[in-house]
Amino acid sequence: MNGTIAVLSAEEEKEYKDAVVKSFCPECGKAVYQNPRGRRKKFCSDACRFAWKNKHPKPENWKSTRIAVCPVCGKEFLASREYKSKRKYCSHACANRGRAMEKQAAAEKEGSHESD
Cβ burial of 49 (10 Å; 0-12, 13-18, 19+) is middle
Q: Is pLDDT at 116 greater than 60 in this prediction?
A: no
pLDDT tens column, 22-50: 889 999 999 888 877 778 889 999 999 98
Which pLDDT band holds residue 77 (cuts at 50, 70, 90)? confident
Q: Is pLDDT at 91 greater than 80 in this prediction?
A: yes
Alpha-carbon distance of 99 to 111, in angstroms, equals 18
Residue percentage of the chain with pLDDT more than 90: 32
Q: Is pLDDT at 3 greater than 60 in this prediction?
A: no
Cβ burial of 23 (10 Å; 0-12, 13-18, 19+) is middle
pLDDT at residue 1, as a whole number: 47
C-alpha dist (Å) from residue 87 to 8, 75, 77, 105: 54, 13, 10, 21
Cβ neighbours around 87 below 10 Å, total: 15
Task: Work out the average pLDDT over 50-75.
Answer: 81
Name the pTM for this structure.
Answer: 0.43
Cβ neighbours around 60 below 10 Å, total: 7
Longest CA–CA separation in the chain, Å: 88
